[in-house]
Structure 1
Amino acid sequence: MKTIYLNEQNLEYWQQQSDKNVIALGFFDGIHKGHQEVIKTAGRKAKEEGAALAVMSFFPHPKTVLSKGEVTFDYLMPLEEKAKVLQTMGVDRFYIVEFNKSFASLSPEDYVEQYLLRFGTIHAVAGYDFSYGFKGAGNIDSLEEHSGGRICTTKVGKVEYQGRKISSTWIREVIHEGNVEELHQLVGRFYEIKGEWNGDSLEAFSCYMLPSPGCYTATVKTKGDIVMMNVCVEHMQGRIYFPGDSGLSCLEGEEVSVTLRHKVREGAVYAYS
């Protein structure tokens, strides 16, 4: 899979490098089961058409740009991790559009022309609530018209769990409350956080959301080992702390992965023993 960062300077180049594709559209933060259904549907269409499977997303989140930086956004995973998940799903190209005021001001017709038709898109797949163009004026129902009938579309309905739509917003609520064991039902995997090991704790990389403070059962993965242990989350320092005898003291500066499975206790790190 090739990951391509699109901006105004390289847009024309990548338009020329594109080939026939079926494309999945959305932000796809966390790649939950609803997102997975969109991408799998696009994959089936791509096989039917003998076309490449592409995913087009954007970064940063529109809320941070349109609010002029006044609104912060809790990302669920870095773009690099998003790309790894998409690769396992058979995606051929992952386009990440730089979201800025210029992109946000595109008319729906210009968006379709510049980012879909000129990229060789023959079929677009998106969720029922996907929107595009200035003030979200376009949606999956209008995309075929905005393409002049040159792009077919498939709209994917909402995917539910226990009668509620699975969404990135719901997942953030679950993480914020520390109910990490619920995530497997919404995402199909537990929540993984990667970061740099600093003596007695993990300093999370950017674009990971930390759950509520407390102690959790976790799978800890280093370059050479995978172990189960309890860890504690501390928001003041944005870190995950480990027991003093964790055996990880020799990993200073290395990348460590923590997959949270179950919350075992509320409370601050200093109460950990």
Structure 2
Amino acid sequence: MEIIPLRYPINGLATLSLDKPLSLAIGHFDGVHRGHQNVIRQAVAEAKKAGMHSAVLTFDPHPKDVLGQGEQYYRCLTPLDAKMELFAELGVDLAFVMHFDKQFAAVPPGRFVDEVLRKLRAEKVVVGFDFNFGHRGAGDTEALKRLGEPDIDVHIVEPLYENGIKVSSTYIREALEQGDLALAERLLGRPYEVAGTVVHGDGRGRTIGFPTANLQYGAPYVPPRLGVYAITLWVGGQAYSGVLNHGIKPTFNEQNVQPVMEAHLFDFGRDIYGERIRVQFRSFIRPERKFGSVDELIKQIEADSLQARKAAEHYTL
């Protein structure tokens, strides 16, 4: 898959390999959840039928973050590099990443169609049912159909529901806040994961017999609920089961400490400081709590580890 950064106004398209028209899925696609996947898969299917390039047009950073419509959008379910990997897995040929700024936000719907979609040779466009575009979101799916006539064929993908609720990034964020990893995994179509680098912590885990890999985020992810989790950790192309604490370690710290993620891996003994890792959250074991002594904490970690090992028997790596 070729990744092509764009800025508005679009210039220099002659340097791109747009030798064929596009079947283009449009959206921010944070999470690339099952609803998003339906939109992208339809664009890929339409491209195959019509002999076009399959493509995605996404935006970075999040439009609502740029427009100050919610601090929550600073944190993401899937940072840009993870989205690109997921697009490629879905069979996309070209990924256009439009830099979203206030200049682009001010573009009226008609100019968006003329100066972005037609410039990209998008002859088929696939969007979700609630898609809005243009200045202040003035354009909707009906406007897209009208403005696209006669040369852009617009396909609208209906919503997907889970438990009677529309599958959405907001629904996934709520599931993570509650520690409902099973629901988040059903909505995403895969385990929720974060990635980053292993850094030195306070070294306390090793002194009590449970050495940990301390994760430093590589992006501002949506954090799951504070607590203890069964996880799969990927490093160097290999997967390992383990148990992870996401929290402030209240047995040792005061309440004003920034939460951290510490993973204890089973049957693992090598040094991975400085290495890049991916952590997949598999199940929520318990909330974080303060213990009366280190011995109490050790007993609880042993119980947590046993529960995480049992959980690992029921999922595939």
What is the TM-score with the length of structure 2 in the denominator?
0.80
Q: Distance in 2 between matches of 1:168 and 1:191?
A: 12
- Range with bigger deviation, 245-254 or 99-108: 245-254
Q: Distance in 1 between matches of 2:8 and 2:220?
A: 24
Percent of aligned pairs with the same residue? 30
In structure 2, what is the equivalent of residue 5 of structure 1?
A: 5
Does residue 1:261 correspond to 2:261, yes or no?
A: no
Q: Equivalences for 1:1-273 in 2 at 5 Å?
A: 1-8=1-8, 11-14=10-13, 17=16, 18=18, 19-67=20-68, 71-73=71-73, 74-199=75-200, 200=212, 201-223=214-236, 225-234=238-247, 236-243=257-264, 247=268, 250-268=271-289, 273=301
1:3: how far off? Answer: 1.1
Aligned amino acid, residue 276 of structure 2: E
1:8: how far off? Answer: 3.3
Q: Are residues 124 and 244 of structure 1, via their aligned partners in 2, closer, same or farther at CA, if it must alter by over 3 Å? A: closer
* 1:130 partner SS: coil
Q: Distance in 2 between matches of 1:151 and 1:128?
A: 17
| Residues 234 and 277 in structure 2, CA contact (< 8 A), matched pair in contact too | yes
Q: Are residues 224 and 24 of structure 1, via their aligned partners in 2, closer, same or farther at CA, if it must alter by over 3 Å? A: closer
What is the TM-score with the length of structure 1 in the denominator?
0.92
Q: Distance in 1 between matches of 2:225 and 2:125?
A: 38
| Residues 159 and 166 in structure 1, CA contact (< 8 A), matched pair in contact too | yes
Q: Distance in 2 between matches of 1:244 and 1:261?
A: 14
Q: Distance in 2 between matches of 1:244 and 1:64?
A: 36
Unpaired stretches in structure 2, ≥5 consecutive residues: 201-211, 249-256, 292-296, 302-317
Q: Are residues 135 and 214 of structure 1, via their aligned partners in 2, closer, same or farther at CA, if it must alter by over 3 Å? A: same
Q: Are residues 245 and 154 of structure 1, via their aligned partners in 2, closer, same or farther at CA, if it must alter by over 3 Å? A: closer
Equivalent residues, number: 271
Unpaired stretches in structure 1, ≥5 consecutive residues: none
Q: Distance in 2 between matches of 1:268 and 1:55?
A: 44
Larger relative contact order, structure 1 or 2 (CA cutoff 8 Å, min sep 6): 1
| Residues 22 and 53 in structure 1, CA contact (< 8 A), matched pair in contact too | yes
Aligned amino acid, residue 36 of structure 2: H
